[in-house]
Amino acid sequence: GQQLNQSPQSMFIQEGEDVSMNCTSSSIFNTWLWYKQDPGEGPVLLIALYKAGELTSNGRLTAQFGITRKDSFLNISASIPSDVGIYFCAGQLGGYGGSQGNLIFGKGTKLSVKP
């Protein structure tokens, strides 16, 4: 089946640092979504991208839809302790009018505070 390769799997952050993570695939996607999940909670939508090359910000978060439509990245600037959690990318095949079954999730990037 379709797969998304999300990296890194985990990373440690120090307050104030910038963070980058990305998702790649061999498939072409029409939508890219980024979610964050805190322990014991469901994923929360952070950013949605609908066009190749699109760059969208949400506060300290910036995400881009890759030109090839096979990748996306998420940057977090000036990280703070509440940024810890698991970040998921999700790519949707089939475009608008498709199905949620066409939404493929990455395995997640776990952000932890540097000891």
Partner 1 sequence: KAGVTQTPRYLIKTRGQQVTLSCSPISGHRSVSWYQQTPGQGLQFLFEYFSETQRNKGNFPGRFSGRQFSNSRSEMNVSTLELGDSALYLCASSISITGELFFGEGSRLTVL
82 binds partner 1 (CB under 8 A): no
Q: Which residues of 57-77 are buried (b: 16+ CB within 10 A; e: fewer)?
A: eeeebbbbbbeebbbbbbebe
Q: Is 108 in the site for partner 1 (CB under 8 A)?
A: yes
Q: Which stretch binds partner 1 (CB under 8 A): 18-26, 36-44, 56-64, 77-85?
A: 36-44
Torsion of CA 106, 107, 113, 115, to 10 degrees: -140
Q: Is 8 in the site for partner 1 (CB under 8 A)?
A: no
* C-beta neighbour count of 106 within 10 angstroms: 24
Binding residue (CB under 8 A) for partner 1 from 16, 59, 97, 115: 97
Candidate segments 12-20, 37-45, 53-61, 73-81, binder of partner 1 by CB under 8 A: 37-45
**Contacting residues toward partner 1, per CB under 8 A:** 1, 31, 33, 35, 40-45, 48, 88, 90, 92, 96-103, 105-108
